[in-house]
Amino acid sequence: MSFIRPEASAALWRWREVLAALVLFAFGLRWALTSVGIMQMTGWACIALAVVVAVVGGQRMRFRPGSGGPGMVQVTEGQISYFGPLTGGAVARSEIETLRLDHTARPSHWVLEQPGQPPLAIPVTATGAEALFDVFASLPGLKTERMLSELHHKGPHQVVIWQRSPDAHTAHWLH
């Protein structure tokens, strides 16, 4: 038995990191302004940590456009797996060559390309797609704010979000 409507619960869950940052900020502010010594320093550290958590939480919240889309995403030890009703596949994070956002599909799709394999298209609203944020953020040189702005920019086009530098895999060592 729940006293909160499912819609309100879903909204609170979507804002969970930002709400946690606000609580941490409140405790930190109280300790910083009313205590002395180590507790005061702990309060200022909590305030700094709360700002970082709020920024990252805001980015994660913007990455979650919705849910209930087709298929399911699973990220395990650097491997992204998509199990869809019509298609599916797996891509290793270390092998991703290109990350595109395809707005021509409904809903929009992340398109992951790796050499020697067909592209893997994952709907942005697939169950578990929020796990892709950490994977994408770990790609070297990816601009997170650009990715988030493109995610919310609508239009009939595909956008290359990230592409591995051409010389990343060209070094071949003999020994």
**39 belongs to a structural domain:** yes
Q: Tell me if 159 sits within 8 A of 105, measured CB to CB.
A: no
**38 belongs to a structural domain:** yes
Q: Is 22 left (phi over 0), alpha (psi -120 to 50) or beta?
A: alpha
Q: Which backbone phi and psi does 118 adopt, to 5 degrees?
A: -70, 150
In a shared domain, residues 81 and 159: yes
Domain that holds residue 29: 6-63
Question: Which run of H or E residues covers position 43?
Answer: helix 38-63
Q: Number of structural domains, the chain? A: 2
In a shared domain, residues 158 and 94: yes
**169 belongs to a structural domain:** no
Domain final position from 36, 63, 90: 63
In a shared domain, residues 51 and 121: no
Q: Within the chain, which residues score under 50 in pLDDT?
A: 171-172, 174-175
Tens digits of residue pLDDT in 32-81? 999 999 999 999 999 999 999 999 888 888 787 767 778 899 999 889 99
In a shared domain, residues 87 and 156: yes
Other Cβ atoms less than 10 A from the Cβ of 24: the count is 18
> What is the predicted pLDDT for the residue at 60?
82
CA-based Rg of the chain, rounded to a whole angstrom? 20
Reported in sequence order, the residue ranges of the chain that DSSP labels E, i.e. its strands, are 72-76, 79-83, 88-92, 98-102, 109-113, 120-123, 158-163
> What is the predicted pLDDT for the residue at 167?
59
**172 belongs to a structural domain:** no
Short-list 125, 126, 147, CA closest to 81:
126
In a shared domain, residues 130 and 80: yes
Q: Which backbone phi and psi does 41 adopt, to 5 degrees?
A: -65, -35
